[in-house]
Amino acid sequence: MGTLQKYLTLLHERPDMFCNKGEKGEIKIITDKKRILSEQKKIRNKLKKEGNPSHWIEIGVLSEDQWFYTLRDMVEFPDGKTGGYIRWINRKSEEGGGYNVILMCVQDDRVLLIRRFRHEERNWSWEFPRGIGEPGLSAEKNARKELEEEVGVSKAKLTCLTKVKEGKGGTAVFLVEIPKGQKITLETQEGIAKYRWVKMSKLEKIVKNGQLSDWFSLWAYSVALRKNNLILEKK
């Protein structure tokens, strides 16, 4: 089955993933097959004249596995122009109701950072533990699962700071209070090389200096501050 046919099948099975609000300023997904092909032909001709590959405007399901869809939609922009627009859809959240989790682990006045290799960036990143949601698990159950898998912690107090819906699932941020004396054991298969405990006052400086680049971790940090679950001690 070709990329466009897969796309049209998905459109039929999951129309909620292709909805247009009809509001001013939105980027509208074109769902009519004839118009998709017509606009695609125009853009392909333009690409050829410019000396660019015609597959740059391939519309459809570009890739899929049990975790994600990669789609390129034909869209109409607010100014009336058309073009291809890529998006990535988390199938665990959209279809299975899984909750992705971000875990801000604390112990007294310290916060846990792990050094993880991010394949998509081909580089290392200091960040908070996090994971993709497994279908059938609540946000808290998935948080505990990821906590045990990534850093080997089975007993901790979890406080949900925020929960954002995405399809049938979503993403949740947790404050995790790890008891004193709890041993940290890293999951090396996930590309986690080491960990460190950082004083919260130092973490504040790290964030202000732009040294915490993982936006999931930055989100969790900012939510924790807003919720007043953390008091950054100036030491």
pLDDT at 92: 79
Give me the percent of the chain exceeding a pLDDT of 90: 77
pLDDT digits (tens, 9 = 90+) for 41-66: 999 999 999 999 999 999 999 999 98
Q: How many domains does the chain have?
A: 2
Domain final residue pick, 62, 94, 126: 94
Low-confidence ranges of the chain (pLDDT < 50): 231-235
Flag whether 233 is in a domain: no
CA distances from 41 to 2, 3, 44, 124, 151 (A): 17, 16, 5, 41, 51
Same domain, 90 and 107: no
Same domain, 144 and 66: no
Tokens of 24: 């001013």
Residue with tokens 């790290």: 206
Average pLDDT over the chain, rounded to an integer:
91
Domain final residue pick, 94, 118, 139: 94
The enclosing domain of 211 has a CATH number of: 3.90.79.10
pLDDT at 44: 97
Flag whether 31 is in a domain: yes
Same domain, 81 and 118: no
Flag whether 194 is in a domain: yes
Same domain, 155 and 169: yes
Range of the domain at 186: 99-226
User: What DSSP letter does each residue of the chain carry, written as one string?
Assistant: --HHHHHHHHHHH-GGGG-----TT--EEP--HHHHHHHHHHHHHHHHHTT--GGGG--EEEEE-SSEEEEEEEEE-TTS-EEEEEEEEEHHHHTT--EEEEEEEEETTEEEEEEEEETTTTEEEEE--EEPPPTT--HHHHHHHHHHHHH-----EEEEEEEEEETTEEEEEEEEEPPTTPPP---GGGTEEEEEEEEHHHHHHHHHTT----HHHHHHHHHHHHTT-------
CA distance 171 to 166: 7
Same domain, 31 and 139: no
Please give the single-letter amino acid code of residue 98.
Answer: G
Buried b / exposed e along 42-74 (16+ C-beta atoms within 10 A): ebbeeeeeeeeeeeebebbbbeeeeeebebbbb
Same domain, 75 and 118: no
Same domain, 81 and 165: no
pLDDT at 191: 86
Contact predicate 90/168, CB 8 Å: no
pLDDT at 230: 52
